[in-house]
Each structure stands twice: as structure tokens, then as C-alpha cells.
Amino acid sequence: MEDATTPQAEPQTLYPVIDNTKDYFIERDGVRYAGNHVLVEVWDAIHLDNPTIIEAALCQGARDAGATILHSHFHHFSPYSGVSGVVVLAESHISIHTWPEKAYAAIDIFMCGDCDPHDALPSIKKALQPKSMDVSAHKRGVIK
Amino acid sequence: MEDATTPQAEPQTLYPVIDNTKDYFIERDGVRYAGNHVLVEVWDAIHLDNPTIIEAALCQGARDAGATILHSHFHHFSPYSGVSGVVVLAESHISIHTWPEKAYAAIDIFMCGDCDPHDALPSIKKALQPKSMDVSAHKRGVIK
């Protein structure tokens, strides 16, 4: 008979465990590194106060890049109606922070493995229709 | 009498609305911009397979920088035991992706308003005890 004073607790998974074999270091042009991280400055864009449109665009961008979406979370701010959100990927993340009053958004897209963060840009461009986008690319985790 | 065929739906808030008056563009040394974004390369660190320690360190870093935590979400991967997580802030975000098998982690900290992302680094350094950290700082949303 089991001891009623020491019940078996249900195992708790506070942090979801995800099988991920794509999260490897990559080697390209003789450089071995963890992944590519692009910072995107979005200017003169529309819909920057609309979290529904922004989340759909970022998630579509993730899928277009062949990434796997694990979680997304977005906030809508007041009084300036900005939006902040992140999409957590098996291959890293996409984030956005918008300033509608300046028609500006800061996006960063980090993807490891075979995924290229640049492949996420067309869906974002289509949704937000910016007059200009400045993209800087950074290799993360370069092994020297 | 109310028309029973058109019931009043409860208002739904899919995206939490957060009051945020600190999310303004800043002006420093004659430069007007949205915020500071630092990319941190963490090498030869410990606890990179421990989401509990990592989440605590990042959240403490956010508080040390005077930021307001709105949401955090972390994953634990297998078979390599890496951790991916984000802390969404009223002032932007902190993210981390770890490769324990390489003793490497990629962190990025973006903060707008008066918060300085560098102030989040000591708690991360204390928790992960890296032998080296490379930090590159980027001004986001510079108005030309």
C-alpha cells in the first residue's frame, strides 16, 4: 500500500522540451558560426499600430524562412499605440518594436541552422509597406 | 428587452494593452534615436543547459537596468540541452540562445527610453561566469 502522506507528484514541465536537431553550428565560406542575426530599421511604414497584422506578417516570415514557430507573444501599448512582440523559433527568434507616431519599427531576426533570416523579409515588407528598410547582418558565435 | 439573437459579446483583449510613457525616442550627444541594442557573445560559460538559472539571470538583469518585465518564455531543447528564451519588456526585450555543447550563448538586449542595456550584463555575467564576453552596441532608429 502506498504511503498516503507522500503522494507521487505529477511531473511538471516548467520549460517545454523541444526536439531540435537543426540547432547546429554552420560552416560557410570557411567560417564556423552559430547563426545569422539581422537588424532591420523600418521607416515610413503602415499598420505599425496593428498587432494582428504585425504578428501575421512575422509568423509568415518565419514560415517563409523554413523556421519552426514555438511561441509568440505581442503587446499593444498606449498612449502611442506601439506594438512589441516576439516569435520564438526552434531556430532562435524574431522580434519587433514599433513607434507608429514616427512610422518606424525596429525588427531583429536571428536564425541558426540552415535558415536565412533574409527570407523572412518579403512578408514583412508586403504587410508594412515601408518606404525604406535598412538591414544589417551579423554572424553570431563565430569560432575564431 | 434585449434581442436574444444578438447577445453582447464580452470584449476580448487578444493583445494586452500596456500603458507606457517611457517608450520615447531619446536624444544623446546630438543624436536622436529609438534605443540601444547590444549583441553579446558569451563564451566558455556554465549553466547554459539550465533554463531556471538563465531566466532568473535575465530577469534580474532587466530589473537592474530599471526595465519593466511584461512577459517571459523559455524553452529547453534536446538532445543538446540548449535553452532559448525571451523576456519582453515595456522597453523592448532580452533574448538568449545557448549551445551548451560549445559553452556558447548568444544574447541580445534592446532597451529604449532611459534604460541602458549594459546595466543588465553584470547579473548575466555573475550567473553564467563566462571566460569572455564580446559586446557590440547598436543605436536603433537613428533619425538622420
Residue A16 domain-assigned?
A: no
Residue contact A88–B97, C-beta within 8 A: no
Please state at what angle helix B121-128 crosses helix B51-64, rounded to 10 degrees. 160
Higher pLDDT residue, B142 or A14? B142
What contacts A1, CB < 8 A, 6 or more positions away?
none
Residue contact B136–A140, C-beta within 8 A: no
Residue A4 domain-assigned?
A: no
| ipTM of the complex, rounded to two decimals | 0.89
Residue B18 domain-assigned?
A: no
Mean pLDDT on A51-61: 98
Maximal C-alpha separation, chain A: 72
| Nearest Cα residue in chain A from B79 | A19
Domain that holds residue A105: 40-142
Q: Which residues pair with B87 in a beta bridge?
A: B72, B94
What is the reported pLDDT for B8?
Answer: 58
Residue from the list A15, A70, A93 with its beta carbon closest to the beta carbon of B95: A93
The whole-angstrom separation of Cα B80 and Cα B61 is 26
Assess whether A118 carries a catalytic annotation. Answer: no
Assess whether A92 carries a catalytic annotation. Answer: yes
Q: Does the pLDDT value for residue A8 go beyond 80?
A: no
Residues B93, B112, B115, B123: which is the catalytic one?
B112
Residue A51 domain-assigned?
A: yes
Assess whether B78 carries a catalytic annotation. Answer: no
pLDDT tens for chain B, 144 residues: list them. Answer: 444 444 555 555 688 988 877 668 888 888 999 999 999 999 999 999 999 999 999 999 999 999 999 999 999 998 889 999 999 999 999 999 999 999 999 999 999 988 999 999 999 999 999 999 999 999 999 998
What is the reported pLDDT for B68?
Answer: 95
Split into its structural domains, chain A has a count of: 1
Residue from the list A21, A77, A141 with its beta carbon closest to the beta carbon of B104: A141
CB atoms within 10 A of CB B64: 15
Q: The CATH number of the domain where B84 resides is what? A: 3.60.90.10
Helix (H, G, I), strand (E, B) or coil at A133: strand
Residue A118 domain-assigned?
A: yes
